[in-house]
Every structure is written in C-alpha cells, then in structure tokens.
C-alpha cells in the first residue's frame, strides 16, 4: 500500500531521508490479520480493542500453518505486524493532547522508521492444518500484514523484577 504522506504537524521533526526507501533487509508477509476494524473505527489501542469484546483472526499464507503446532488456546502470543500506511521519516512527533513533541522511540505511534506493531494477545482457537488462529482482540485494521508470532515469555517480555 502506498504510504499516506501526512503533512508534518507543528512540533514534528523530519529526518533528512526516508527510511521507507531503505532496503537493509527484506520481510516476508506470513499472513494477514482479519479484524472488524477499518481506518474510521479502529480502537485507539489494544486495551480499548479488548473492551469492545470483538475478537479477531490470523490467517496464514500457504505453508506456514505447521508453525502453529505446539501453541494452545488460552496461551498468550506476541503478534508482530506491519503498519506501513504512514510516513516513516518523523523522528519527533507532537502527540494528541500533549504540549511538547517527543521522540518517536518514546512513543507507540505507528509513524516510525520501521512501522512494526506489537500486540500481546490470547489465543481463543487454533487450526494449524488450516493456518488459522482466533485471538481475543487486536487494534490493527482488517488486512494488516503479519510478520511473526512468538509465545509470550515473562523472562524476555517483561521488565525484570515485576
């Protein structure tokens, strides 16, 4: 999908180059997220998506289904997906409602050099043979390309000592 080149807002800072033009490494889309959400009605974040009570689904491309074997309903996984609908060259941004810009790496904005989205979701159903996994919620648009699924592990994915 072509990037939507939103004009920079006051407080935004633009890189002098476009990370979207870089090809330091290449990604393979392993499938897509099917969700109830489109750009007009997508929940603001995963917590808001969970509150709607609406689930979502992961549909893998042919060949990738056996990668789900060993996962179980009730288990939590991290989805990594690709959010390349926005410009990738803003290195500081003015968040809505904030009075000062912040660095992009201090924000969860989808506008970032590599638009990788993360969500920790619960598996509600699984069919490895079909390459399909149902999940409790997601805040990504319907059709969002999927890059990876990882089992959530407290020792890696949480601050130490919590």
Distances (CA, A) of 85 to 55, 100, 140, 157: 23, 24, 12, 27
Asked if 55 interacts with a second copy (CB under 8 A), we say no
> Which residues lie below 8 Å from residue 115, measured CB to CB, with a gap of 6+?
82, 83, 84, 85, 86, 88
Q: Is 39 in the site for a second copy (CB under 8 A)?
A: no
70 binds a second copy per the rule CB under 8 A: yes
Take residue 114 and report the two structure tokens written for it: 């590599």
User: Does 99 help bind a second copy (rule: CB under 8 A)?
Assistant: no
> Quick one: which H or E segment has residue 116?
strand 116-127
Binding pattern for the stretch 134-153 against a second copy, x by CB under 8 A and - elsewhere: --x--------x-xxxxxxx
The footprint of a second copy (CB under 8 A) covers: 13, 15-17, 19-20, 22-30, 45-47, 50, 63-64, 66-71, 76-78, 80, 82, 84, 88, 91-92, 101-108, 112-114, 116, 118-120, 122, 128, 136, 145, 147-153, 155-160
């Amino acid at each position: 999908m072509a990037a939507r080149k939103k004009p920079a807002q006051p407080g935004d800072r633009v890189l002098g180059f476009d990370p979207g033009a870089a090809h330091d490494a290449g990604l393979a889309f392993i499938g897509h997220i099917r969700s109830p959400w489109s750009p007009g009605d997508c929940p603001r974040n995963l917590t808001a998506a969970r509150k709607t009570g609406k689930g979502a689904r992961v549909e893998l491309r042919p060949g990738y289904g056996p990668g789900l074997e060993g996962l179980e309903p009730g288990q939590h996984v991290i989805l990594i997906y690709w959010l390349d609908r926005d410009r990738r060259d803003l290195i500081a941004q003015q968040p809505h409602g904030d009075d000062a810009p912040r660095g992009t790496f201090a924000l969860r904005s989808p506008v970032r050099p590599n638009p990788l989205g993360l969500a920790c979701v619960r598996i509600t159903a699984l069919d490895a043979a079909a390459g399909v996994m149902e999940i409790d919620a997601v805040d990504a648009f319907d059709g969002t390309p999927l890059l990876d699924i990882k089992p959530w592990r407290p020792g890696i994915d949480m601050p130490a000592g919590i």
